Structure 1
Amino acid sequence: MVAAAFALAALGVQAQGSAPEKVFRYSFRVAETGFDPAQVTDLYSRTLTAGIFDAPLRYAHLARPFKLEPSGCELPEVSEDFRTLTFTVRPGLFFAPDPAFKGVKRELVAADYVYSIKRHYDPKNKSGNLYILENAGILGLDKLRQEALKGKPFDYDREVEGLRVLDKYRWQIRMKVGDPRFMHNLADPFVGAVAREVVEFYGDKIMEHPVGTAAFMLKNDEWRRSSKIVLVKNPHFREEFYNEEAPADRPDLQAMAAKLKGRRLPMIDRVEFSIIEENQPRWLAFMKAEADMVEEVPAEFASIAMPNGQLAPNLAKRGVQMNRYARADVAVSFFNMEHPMVGGTEPHKVALRRAISLGVDLDKEVRLARRGQAIPAQGLLAPNTYGYSPAFKSEMSEFNRAKAKGLLDLHGYVDKDGDGWRDNPDGSPLVLEYATQPDGQNRALAELWQKNMDALKIRIQFKLAKWPEQLKASRAGKLMMWGVGWSASVPDGDAFLTLGYGKNKGQSNHARFDLPAYNALYEQQRALPDGPERLAVMEKLNRMAVAYMPYKVHVHRIFTDMAHPWVSGLERNIFRRDFWQYLDIDVEAQRKAREQ
């Protein structure tokens, strides 16, 4: 039952004379994989680590356009050639209490960031975000990694030219090539500071024992893997107060910021995350006030909750708040470019992928499976990132079965054995295998894939597994095709162009696309400052991705969050995941609603 899934705690006073505990509850659609910044890559686990670990920087919560601000460190000193960044850790930041510290209150220092970044280069951690650091070319770290790959223990104590502790609070990054935008990556929780003694204390169990300096900490004794996660206030968290500046064109956000100004952060005491994979119980939990917010209103309930994009009258009467926004997001189906069935850059293989793309009816996908909560994509670049242009048009969104069949016929994908299904040019069976998950929306998407491919006379089978299992298989190159979402953590199109960069195979590059011409252009745009020259190179890359079709980019999704009236401060910064530290809860109103 939904009520059991949420395991609602009583909302009484904690002790005589003390204030009631403020608890915020909502759900994830996908289970966590763990809590170690060096190992997790999925959106949901990274949402959790964002609340536990301090990256050097972060994005100001309400600032638009998006703006970096200090987090674990002050804003860095950046050399004129963008090759050297010097950071200063903010003094007086302390890790959450943990047995690894043996009763000592442990301060965050420069060595913690140097150690945390080195962990991504240690092969035993299998970092899925290593590509971001490797692309920057931090001097000396590749050599350490190569030695470890040959069997030597990774040498954390060796100083390297590109990553050094300067003194107790200062540390420095030096790169081979200047990157004007590299520091944006240092606002991501994957570079959140961990303490070496914690990692060594827990060893192989470090994914289960996150200890950071940010506002929250994991309550291990209440964590139920793939079911319930509880974060509580870090008692050692610094004094930090709500001081957000809202955009001039958003009077609603200005009023909200004025109401909350000066309150100590975080304003809530506890965040409870339930894992509810199916959309119906997730929506019902919100409607019954068992959840304070529903993140990404399920598509099948969109017409009920927000007909024509407007909050339904019955929800408005209850005081429900609606926050509608576009993420920097793409929903894609990738083709494994190393798979003998769909991979390769030979003309007939390119033709197969392009024909499959032309056979996908995006209009039906948006209307039926996604219930209007998306717009068709023209390429890899997504809204809210530098380089995206709404004027860019391409074959990516085209639906043309006649053209698709013509391409297949021209390149020899015809029925050779008379069974009514197309075969490969060599006569072997042409059978697609598409990985998917056992939830309502993915079932609807799979049904559309079946109908689309049936119309082209291409056989398709579905490989069903839960999301963490598919992710593991994808990174190992074991999937032929998979439908997955990708959200940028920085407001720059490089976050999507990286999906095709050859050196990122097995990390961001799920398609395992590795084209020398693309790689060269990708490296060129990374070194260029923002401006017309870089934009022109980015467009070339976008068109190249359309031409070779390692990814069928389906849509850019539109998200709608809804919250009950006792939640104050609801506003999403798409480059901040820990939005809940800026929320407040009216406990009395929450209690009354749950008693009804």
Structure 2
Amino acid sequence: MSSQQAPSQSASRNQRRRPWLLIALPSLPAMLIAVVLTFTATNDPWPAGMAAEETFFTSYSSSIKSLDPAVSYYVHEGEILDSIVEMPLSYHYLRRPYELCPMLAGALPVPRCIGHDGAILSGDPPPEQVARVEYDIELKRGIRYQPHPCFAKNSDGTPRYRQLSARDLKGIRRIGDFPAQDSRELHAEDFKVALVRLCDVRLASPVYSTLKSFILGMDECSAHIKNDLAVLEAEASRAGRDIGMYPVLPDYRRYDLAGLQVIDQYRFRLVLSRKYPQAVYWLAMHFFAPMPWEALAFYQQPAVIDARLDIKNWPVGTGAYMMAECAPADHITLVKNPNFRHEPYPNDGSDEQRRNGLLDDAGKTTPFIKRVVFQFEREAIPTWIKFLQGYYDNSGIPNDMFDAAVAMNPNGELSLSQDMIQRGIRLNTGVAPTIFYFGFNMLDPVVGGNSPNQKKLRQAISIALDYQEFIDIFLNGRGVVAQSLIPPGITGAPADGPSGVNPFVDTWNERHQAPQRRPIDDARKLLAEAGYPNGIGPDGAPLTLYLDHANAGQSAFKAQFQWLSRRFELLGIRIQERPSDLNRWRDKVNTGNWQIIFNKGWLADYPDPENFLFLFYSGNGVVSSGGRGANYVNYSSEAFDKVFKQLESMADGPERLALIQQAIRILQEDAPCCWGFHPKNFILTHAWLHNYQPHEMGKTFLKYRRVDATLRRQCQRAWNRPRLAGIYAVLALVAASASAMIVRIYREDQS
């Protein structure tokens, strides 16, 4: 009997054990998911391990149009391009005011003035005695281009990648995919190729029109290229080539250009048709970056064009970095150029820069960073969030987030909020070499002209337009009220203190040690003297002015226009809008068919006051020049023109500075503009990013920055701990529900 009962008891125990096994089964996947999430959950947008390496992460918000050094003209493109290509000269990273220094050249070139009799002129001769000016540039030895397939050769010395077919490029998506890469040394001829290429009208280089007016022979060279292109394109068309899709390539090496003479392998001569000391700044712009002929010949091949590999996306240079990935609609990645000569970090700077750690790496070999990732971000808020998470190393401050990032300190100055300080974030500020101004059309019979009463009207309006208030309301304090058109950091900018104040508009506040607008009663007095007491004109009607613009429908402009209206109402002046589309507005500006304009801007091409003062030379008047000039307000003054022509061609020195100050005072009194503001850039950087110094002129300084990747990874982990409690609770609930359902089904089956 016992032998028959044993199996029954064992079955009973198995039946009692089975519900518990069924209850436990749904918990196993939940536990597995929980374990996986615990060890792998992350919001890190970068590939695994990249943040732990010497990589600099940053972003751009505007689309990339071109990285071709002959064409690229946007600041965000320059941040990328100028890390790949180099120029004869650059700017010193730390010195202020901005100062040129050699880059590819061995030394700063010295101008040699030649008289009309062919003799060399000594000193600083007047421009009328100068027939031409020569600059001899000698290159540093041993500078090599980045590895690139365009330099690869066969054993017999012929180019390896010529006459490529689509089959040859199968699987090739990046320049780095080519199995053979090579390099060569930089030659003086590469600069000739680059400058002759600017004469090709098909490129439409934005600097050609300026350069051709100074560099000898560019017009003639352009004409020769144009004639040759007609022949080459005709031949290509007869051969069945689609010249629209596959443009022909003239051999730029064989053209004569009087303005650039190759002396030997390491020396070339730049020749100007007239005296222009500011030409030396051109040598620090990427339009003067050398262009190896091999690269142009490589990218001209139809199969390469079909593979979407071109100079616009894959520039070739001698810089510290080279292109590794180029998907402009998503990201761009640069990597360290193995052929870079590893120049040292600057070893001289100010005491303040030393205190801020900017000289800690003095004399050390650069570049410090091995990889740079530029991520395309269309919106400011996602960029900001990723910066706070530690995934971007630097960031601007979105307007909506300004109060969270910056606070007013007891001295009334903007500084970081406590939250930012606790994170170790640093605030880097710099005044941009830019002027935004309120312009009067000097051809207009009401606001224009140079009579004493017309000047007083413009001065009165300038006082009423309190730009400090504008900066506080619309820019979150990110700007400096302009005392003249020359921004801080540029030679000739108004000095700090009472002597730098525009006396026609501002006074000096001793208590705050800062300029402040003159009282509105001063403006009303000037208005009355101008013939408009309380804003009433000679005809007994209120003075009405018309603001022409192309900003219709923009909410930001609507608020600014309301501010303008309130400021004008203080004088009894009415202001009305005359909106138009952009093309119509441009036509109005070019024909002088406007009265007043608001916040017209100018960004310096180079740090010389001439680059701002020329905006008011009468010969550059937009109307008088048929739309080619940059004197948008059509200002004309014999006194100003005389001073400007003197200083334009002078070398820097006390005499030139005195003329600059004289020109500024003429403009301050004539008031063709209310001198608006200079924008102030606010850039935040994390504690792990070292050697970050804002530089508003040069873009060649990524090689100097250094990242503490260990500190960055620690902060990223601390700031981005996975919040899994809610997920764990949901998994537990799901597991419990599943277990209950299984038990219920089991019991129903047993019954």
Q: TM-score range by the shorter chain?
A: 0.7 to 0.9
Query: How far has the Cα of 1:249 moved from its partner?
Result: 1.4
The one of 200, 205, 211 equivalent to 1:133 is 211
**Is 2:576 aligned against 1:459?**
yes
**Is 2:234 aligned against 1:112?**
no
Specify the alignment match of 1:4 in structure 2.
Answer: none
**Is 2:320 aligned against 1:215?**
yes
Conserved 8 A contact 2:471-2:478: yes
Query: Partner of 1:250: helix, strand, or coil?
Result: helix
The one of 529, 548, 573 equivalent to 1:433 is 548
Specify the alignment match of 2:685 in structure 1.
Answer: 563
Q: TM-score under structure 1 normalisation?
A: 0.78
**Is 2:93 aligned against 1:55?**
no
Map 1:369-384; keep pairs closer than 5 Å: 369-384=474-489
Which amino acid in the other structure matches residue 265 of structure 2? K
The one of 191, 195, 201 equivalent to 2:292 is 195
Q: TM-score under structure 2 normalisation?
A: 0.64
**Is 2:336 aligned against 1:239?**
no
Conserved 8 A contact 2:88-2:102: yes
Query: How far has the Cα of 1:185 moved from its partner?
Result: 3.2
Give per-residue Cα distances to partners, 1:299-331, cap 9 Å, x unaligned: 971674242333322222111122233343323
Question: What is the alpha-carbon distance in structure 2 between the residues aligned to residue 61 and residue 438 of structure 1?
Answer: 42
CA RMSD of aligned residues (A): 4.5
Which amino acid in the other structure matches residue 432 of structure 1? L
Specify the alignment match of 1:75 in structure 2.
Answer: 107
| Change in 2 beyond 3 A, CA 1:548/1:106 | farther
**Is 2:611 aligned against 1:495?**
yes
**Is 2:169 aligned against 1:90?**
no
Conserved 8 A contact 1:374-1:556: yes
Question: What is the alpha-carbon distance in structure 2 between the residues aligned to residue 504 and residue 51 of structure 1?
Answer: 36
Conserved 8 A contact 2:407-2:416: yes
Question: What is the alpha-carbon distance in structure 2 between the residues aligned to residue 514 and residue 30 of structure 1?
Answer: 34
Give per-residue Cα distances to partners, 1:465-499, cap 9 Å, x unaligned: 8xxx9999999889964635544354432232233
Specify the alignment match of 2:255 in structure 1.
Answer: 158
Specify the alignment match of 1:46 in structure 2.
Answer: 78
Map 1:58-457; keep pairs closer than 5 Å: 58-64=90-96, 66-79=98-111, 81=113, 83-98=133-148, 102=161, 104-130=182-208, 133-134=211-212, 137-145=214-222, 156=252, 157-199=254-296, 206-219=311-324, 221-224=326-329, 228-250=330-352, 252=354, 255-259=357-361, 261-276=363-378, 278=380, 280-295=381-396, 298=399, 301=402, 304-308=405-409, 309-333=414-438, 357-390=462-495, 391-394=499-502, 395=504, 400=520, 402=524, 431-435=546-550, 445=560, 447-449=562-564, 451-452=566-567, 456-457=573-574
Query: How far has the Cα of 1:365 moved from its partner?
Result: 0.6
Specify the alignment match of 2:663 in structure 1.
Answer: 541
Q: Which deviates more, 365-374 or 36-45?
A: 36-45
| Change in 2 beyond 3 A, CA 1:21/1:9 | farther
Question: What is the alpha-carbon distance in structure 1 between the residues aligned to residue 44 and residue 553 of structure 2?
Answer: 26
Question: What is the alpha-carbon distance in structure 2 between the residues aligned to residue 483 and residue 138 of structure 1?
Answer: 33
Query: Partner of 2:419: helix, strand, or coil?
Result: helix
Which amino acid in the other structure matches residue 48 of structure 2? G
Give per-residue Cα distances to partners, 1:373-426, cap 9 Å, x unaligned: 222112111211111222244346667563686588659x989999x9866xxx
Conserved 8 A contact 1:177-1:527: no
Max Rg structure: 2
Which amino acid in the other structure matches residue 571 of structure 1? Q
Query: Partner of 1:589: helix, strand, or coil?
Result: helix
Conserved 8 A contact 2:347-2:363: no
Structure 2 gaps of 5+ residues are 1-42, 114-123, 125-132, 152-160, 162-180, 231-249, 507-516, 721-751
Specify the alignment match of 1:10 in structure 2.
Answer: 46
Which amino acid in the other structure matches residue 448 of structure 1? W
Question: What is the alpha-carbon distance in structure 2 between the residues aligned to residue 572 and residue 369 of structure 1?
Answer: 23
Question: What is the alpha-carbon distance in structure 2 between the residues aligned to residue 169 and residue 446 of structure 1?
Answer: 57
Question: What is the alpha-carbon distance in structure 2 between the residues aligned to residue 200 and residue 314 of structure 1?
Answer: 54
Give the % identical residues: 21
| Change in 2 beyond 3 A, CA 1:121/1:515 | farther
Query: How far has the Cα of 1:58 moved from its partner?
Result: 0.9
Query: Partner of 1:84: helix, strand, or coil?
Result: strand
Map 1:16-27; keep pairs closer than 5 Å: 20-27=52-59
Give per-residue Cα distances to partners, 1:188-219, cap 9 Å, x unaligned: 23322333454566579754443332223445
Query: Partner of 2:83: helix, strand, or coil?
Result: helix
Query: How far has the Cα of 1:74 moved from its partner?
Result: 1.8
Give per-residue Cα distances to partners, 1:281-300, cap 9 Å, x unaligned: 55444323332112467597
Q: Which deviates more, 168-177 or 507-516?
A: 507-516
Specify the alignment match of 1:511 in structure 2.
Answer: 632
Query: How far has the Cα of 1:525 moved from its partner?
Result: 0.7
| Change in 2 beyond 3 A, CA 1:484/1:193 | farther
Specify the alignment match of 1:553 in structure 2.
Answer: 675
Question: What is the alpha-carbon distance in structure 2 between the residues aligned to residue 344 and residue 441 of structure 1?
Answer: 28
Query: How far has the Cα of 1:443 moved from its partner?
Result: 6.8
Question: What is the alpha-carbon distance in structure 1 between the residues aligned to residue 318 and residue 468 of structure 2?
Answer: 46
Question: What is the alpha-carbon distance in structure 2 between the residues aligned to residue 471 and residue 111 of structure 1?
Answer: 44
| Change in 2 beyond 3 A, CA 1:312/1:146 | same
Map 1:461-476; keep pairs closer than 5 Å: 461=578
Question: What is the alpha-carbon distance in structure 1 between the residues aligned to residue 286 and residue 182 of structure 2?
Answer: 25
| Change in 2 beyond 3 A, CA 1:53/1:435 | farther
Question: What is the alpha-carbon distance in structure 1 between the residues aligned to residue 372 and residue 609 of structure 2?
Answer: 35
Conserved 8 A contact 2:354-2:360: no
| Number of residues of Structure 1 aligned to a counterpart in Structure 2 | 569
Query: Partner of 1:52: helix, strand, or coil?
Result: coil
Structure 1 gaps of 5+ residues are 1-6, 424-429
Conserved 8 A contact 2:487-2:493: yes
Query: How far has the Cα of 1:276 moved from its partner?
Result: 4.5
Question: What is the alpha-carbon distance in structure 2 between the residues aligned to residue 84 and residue 294 of structure 1?
Answer: 43
Q: Which deviates more, 566-575 or 268-277?
A: 268-277
